[in-house]
Chain A
Amino acid sequence: MSQIKELTRSRFLLFIREPEAMFWVFLFPVVLALVLSFAFQNRGVNEANVGYVEGQLSTEWVQALEADSLIHLIAFEDTVLAARKLRSGAVAVMVSGENPNLHLNYDPTRPESEIAQMRITNRLQAQEGRQDVVLTETTETTEHGSRYIDFLLPGLLGMNLMGTSIWGTGFPIVEMRQKKLLKRFLVTPMKKTSFLLAQILSRFGFLVAEVIVITAFGVFLLGVPFRGSIITFSILSFLGAISLAGIGLLVASRAKTIEGVSGIMNFVMMPMWLFSGVFFSYENFPEAFHPVFRLLPLTALNDGLRRLMLEGDGIQTMGLEISVLTVWAILSFVAALKIFRWK
């Protein structure tokens, strides 16, 4: 009977006997993806709320705007209420006047107001006889890969791997330390590396299940593209899980209480939630910071997964990502072994 095998096996049994853990690993990311894809679905151009005060817009123009399918015209009885709705954003544009004087009141920094204002102008100009001088021909393209859910899913997969790797490795170690089980192992001939390796290896059983559930859900139910190779995808997920579990090991290597280790975990994960491109691209931050962000293990994982799934990039283009993950995996394991507190 080998040490690593039995240590891994018992760690794995403990995990699958923890119903809460199953929820966080499998159900939570699926629910999160569903909710977010619903909230951020591409609905095209939304119908805009356009307001006017009764008596301040000519009847012809009221009829013209009501005929526009993307304009929802709302009549107000007094100016004060209308002004308030405009300020609060419930109304995109306030319109008044009669031919030949059109007056529009809106906030130009709000995209939907800007779109509505152009639409109103075009509509009423045409109504009063403006002729188009250029013939416009349009081709419409809607291809999967550009929706928010397409961007989100690889990030969600990465974030979930981070959470389960760090929590799933860190908490049980602190619990074993509190229960003096680590101390008990110290009086056996157990190899310390076997113990730490088993903590990481035991992650793989559910890593596979976790990745398959989330990816299949995204690809088959939400239509997220998967354009790269499955082998590269597996290598990336595997390396990501090892390096993040290594960080979980390191995070838990000294802490004596669950509260203590929770604090360190949040401290470690927070920057990655923000800067590793989970919910939004880190391109939103100043470019000078990008090289630093790319050295975070979750960034490497997310960038790799995203390029692979959305753009079909191969492993030969992922040298940076693979190196970052490998270095993190080795460094965190060696450091954890060195500073680990057994008693």
Chain B
Amino acid sequence: MNPPAISVHSLVKRYEDLTAVDGIQFSVPQGICLGLLGPNGAGKTTTIEILEGLLDRDAGTVEILGKNWSSHGDWLRERIGVQLQDTRFPEKLTVTEILRLFRSLYKKGRDPEEVLGVVGLEEKRDTRTIKLSGGQQQRLALGCALINQPDILFLDEPTTGLDPQARRRVWDVVEQFKAGGGTVLLTTHYMDEAERLSDQLVIMDHGKIIAEGTPEEIIGSLNAENIIAFALEDGGAPSLELETIPGVLTVRSGDVIELVVSKTNQALPTLLDRIRKQELEVADLRLHRPTLEDVFVSLTGRNLRES
């Protein structure tokens, strides 16, 4: 039987006055994409860099393809592909030159020409990297990560700072790799990226895992049917006694008030009824299905984008 692509037990990493990773464990079967989702500072990058063999751990065990870094470092490096956060390539080398360089570092791998096609940079083959857009540079980084035909692809925030179209092109490359049977470990603080690419999710906060499972399972753990978000003309809603509305699970106050509801057909009419009786004016009212963002907020009281 194949060993899991990645398995992590009781992993701990401490910096001087901070425990960046605090006893996490998870396992990634071969051929799936695991997303590590969390806000900045959650410990995602520290975790992925330990798995890539870049950082030493303070406690716990890490196995990649059933091997560990201390005894099989070079064997593993031949079999992983890595895209780090903000690596910048030499400005005056061309796309093909960079791919050739990276290809030369591995015993086995693909022809740079073929990889140009995979990441959609054929037309930019002789362009110097300084002339590439952010999305093209990111696809070049992906090309370098794929040049050795890796078994596992590590991506650290692959689309941060890119526009929507450029993000989709990066996602296409990753999905193509998955379709070929590859394993992916991805960190991100975008829930749409996590939902789109990941088969399994691990949500981290302050170095700990606060939720895990498939995106559906994690969202299902809220037991929520819908989220009602509304705002009133004159701000707050002190007299509405929202907690007592039937079908409301939790209330989050703010400029926009959010109600996590299990029974929309009871909660919504009651809410509107109370607003009408108090003669308040509705400025905004929305209803949406719960998302990973809502799970994160209800677990931590903060948004993913806040650090």
Residues of A within 8 A of B (CB): 1-3, 5-7, 9-10, 13-14, 17-18, 176, 179-181, 183-190, 343
Contacts and interface: CB of A to CB of B under 8 A. Distances in A.
Given A6-B100, A13-B97, A187-B82, A181 B90 contact: yes
Nearest to B83: A184
Interface string B34-63: 000000000000000000111000000000
A153 to B, nearest CB: 33
Q: Is the interface of B mostly helix, strand, loop or mixed?
A: loop
What 9 pairs across the A-B complex have the smallest Cβ distances?
A: A6-B104, A179-B88, A1-B104, A17-B92, A189-B77, A187-B82, A188-B105, A190-B105, A184-B87
B237 interface: no
B151 to A, nearest CB: 14
Contact of B104 (A2, A13, A181, A183): A2
A180 B54 contact: no
B78 interface: yes
B166 interface: no
Contacts of A3: 104-105
B104 A7 contact: yes
B77 A187 contact: yes
A183 B87 contact: yes
Contact of A179 (B89, B92, B102, B148): B89
A92 to B, nearest CB: 57
Given A10-B93, A181-B89, A187 B105 contact: no
Nearest to A176: B90
B86 interface: yes
A183 B54 contact: yes
B95 to A, nearest CB: 13
Contacts of A190: 105
A179 B87 contact: yes
Contacts of A184: 82, 84, 87, 144
A3 B53 CA distance: 21
A185 B105 contact: yes
A189 B106 contact: yes
B208 interface: no
21 contacts: A2-B104, A3-B105, A5-B104, A6-B104, A6-B105, A10-B97, A179-B88, A179-B89, A180-B87, A183-B54, A184-B84, A185-B105, A187-B52, A187-B53, A187-B54, A187-B82, A188-B77, A188-B105, A188-B148, A189-B78, A190-B105
Contacts of A188: 77, 102, 105-106, 148
A181 B86 CA distance: 9
B101 A6 contact: yes
B288 interface: no
B80 interface: yes
A9 B101 CA distance: 9
B103 interface: yes
A1 B100 contact: yes
A181 B87 contact: yes
Interface in B214-273: none
Given A1-B104, A187-B52, A189-B106, A14 B92 contact: yes
B84 A180 contact: yes
Contacts of B93: 10, 13-14
Contacts of A14: 90, 92-93
B74 interface: yes
A13 B92 contact: yes
A14 B92 CA distance: 6
B84, B107, B148, most chain A CB atoms within 10 A: B84
A3 B88 CA distance: 20
A2 B148 CA distance: 14
